[in-house]
Amino acid sequence: MALALENPDRVILLDDMLARRTAQAAGLQVWGTLKVLLEAKSHGIIEKVEPHVSKLGDSGMWISAKIKRRILKLAGES
């Protein structure tokens, strides 16, 4: 986060909620893994978000059903 504070025009990648809130309170632009997947799809890097979201869940990343539905809707996959 110290590096991000030195470069406030950049995006910081964080998934931990406390870290995200701290960074946002410091005025930093925060993206999480799911936002990166949405951006990758919008730039044609990946075709679908859903397989990647499922792999993250299978790997131990906790994603609530509500968040998963929201991400898939934003990706146009619901």
pTM: 0.86
77 pLDDT above the threshold of 90? yes
Closest CA to 32 of 21, 42, 45, 43: 21
Please report the pLDDT score of residue 70 as a whole number. 96
State the average pLDDT over residues 62-73: 95
Residue 27: Cβ within 10 Å count:
8
The helix, strand and coil proportions of the chain, stated in percent and rounded to the nearest 5, come to 55, 10, 35
pLDDT digits (tens, 9 = 90+) for 6-49: 998 999 999 999 999 999 999 999 999 999 999 999 999 999 99
Please report the pLDDT score of residue 1 as a whole number. 87
So where are the chain's domains? 1-31, 38-78
78 pLDDT above the threshold of 90? no
